[in-house]
Structure 1
């Protein structure tokens, strides 16, 4: 059961040296902010229905803005999840549409680095249409704060040789963005989500929740920009 509170939680990383998540030069590289809410009328159901067409759309937006990556999604009420029944509730219950992490959109094969030394909590191939595909959850202990980060939509090679409890040093390239065939049928990207408590979850945790339950879920998955800002610097708005 999720805990509730009237305010959002934020990690205290003051004074902590945080490494890059992906290769990015804030001086020369650009970020393209993506909006996947109902306000984005260009992204129609026909595009979303075909992963290859959806991927072409993502790539066209990156090319149009001369951006190395696309980014966005925390606390975003998204329409794109209607493309998969994975996010639809049973019977008349509310579907899941509120995104709990940040997505970094870029080419398959993009290296993912560990921002701080951690150990492997769990990993899994969540192989459903619209799901995470290959997924890794790392456990961190920073300034006495124990928390987890879920890395989703990875390549299958990223989890092939992992072991639970394995140490992943700071700065290590430990994973890569997966292709649609192995990442849950999405255009290549990384789902990056901070999680305070996993409860009994192993290799998986909701990255999208019903809108009416946003308060407890956002409390348990605080804004990851406190980590990602060290990679993207001023480019992260």
Structure 2
């Protein structure tokens, strides 16, 4: 099945180059040059991934990301010409799954897009695993990628879902930040531990009183503690 990527970039040359890479890789590409056009397309079409520049006319990338996250957990990769880590963390807090600083390599960005889409739609589970996993009142539904707490669904981003699933599947085992990066992002990490910490903080906030199930192991990483 052909997957659809919404590419939001106001610089014509950059948008055309990246669109060509994505088209050659077999994706359908919908293009937008500003934030308002991006939201209009997103509301009308079935989108599998959003590649979103931050500095846009009409409506900036922050605002577009925030509005998309109100209704959808579609994977979002944000693009920026700035390398300020505070900008990166803000993007993650708004629900972005990945963050790429310009100038970037189109093949590398393509690889990240493929990984996000594949991990969203190709549920990779051990044969003996059940379709759901329930621990301490939290239930993961792998096929539909939903998470419920006492039968109430909570809205997680793609990355938050992957982190929670990985921790729960390894309950009681300390997972290092390096292991999380390798498992979730799957490429050489540029940045520091604050990126992982930001996703964990957002995840805990959404888990509410169940946030205590995710324990911080000082100077190492995290582990999930819970009962069936």
- TM-score exceeds 0.5: no
Q: Pick the TM interval, shorter chain.
A: under 0.3
Larger-gyration structure (1/2): 2
| Structure with the larger RCO, 1 or 2 (CA within 8 Å, 6+ apart) | 1
Which has the larger helix fraction?
A: 2
**TM-score normalised by structure 1 residue count:** 0.25
**TM-score normalised by structure 2 residue count:** 0.26
